[in-house]
Homo-oligomer: A and B are copies of this chain.
Amino acid sequence: MKRKSLEAAPCPVARSLDVIGDWWSLLIVRDAFLGRRRFGEFQKSLGLSKNILTQRLRGLVDDGIMTQVPASDGSSYQEYALTPKGRDLHTVILALRQWGEDHCFDAEPCPTALVERATGKPVRRLTVQAEDGRPLGLGETMVVAPAG
């Protein structure tokens, strides 16, 4: 499928999707959040071909979301680690998780939860809020061009 580039779009949502709006790329990032670092680990987890995985990992490296690093155990394997730009996708992944928990498990409960490591308690729900923390519904927000 030919993909129109939205790299230069004025909308930050479109630009984000231009970079990470690929199903596999975001699942690779999710796997990296779960601690996976090696080609074989991603391949086993995602069940996708070497070709596609190679291509997606290269894209993530080119876009500055992941970086290749020497293996943590001193072996000759290359590993992939998230950069700060990649780590900042944590909020995007959590928003996707929350929506999936809410809307994609009709017949059974969601089998996993994101918790604080130290306490084991679920993380706080993400919501759209005003500057002072009041919850905002869809009709209470709008997109504007900042003054100046």
> Which A residues lie at the B interface, using CB under 8 A?
1, 3-4, 10-23, 26-27, 30, 33-34, 47-48, 82, 85, 87-105, 109-124, 126-133, 136, 138-146
A112 contacts B1, C-beta separation under 8 Å? no
Complex alpha-carbon distance, A15 and B4, angstroms: 25
Instruction: Take A12-B105, A96-B92 as given contacts and tell me if A145 and B112 are in contact as well, using a CB distance cutoff of 8 Å.
Output: yes
Quick check: B4 and A30 within 8 Å, CB to CB? no
* B3 adjacent to A23 (CB under 8 Å): yes
Q: Do A128 and B138 touch (CB < 8 A)?
A: no
What are some 21 contacts across the A-B interface (CB < 8 A)? Answer: A1-B1, A4-B47, A10-B112, A13-B97, A15-B100, A16-B99, A17-B23, A17-B27, A33-B138, A90-B128, A91-B127, A92-B99, A111-B145, A116-B131, A116-B141, A117-B140, A123-B136, A123-B141, A124-B133, A126-B126, A126-B128
Task: Indicate if the CB atoms of B99 and A117 lie closer than 8 Å.
Answer: no
- The 8 Å CB contact of A141, one of B15, B18, B117, is B117
Contact indicator B121/A130 (Cβ below 8 Å):
yes
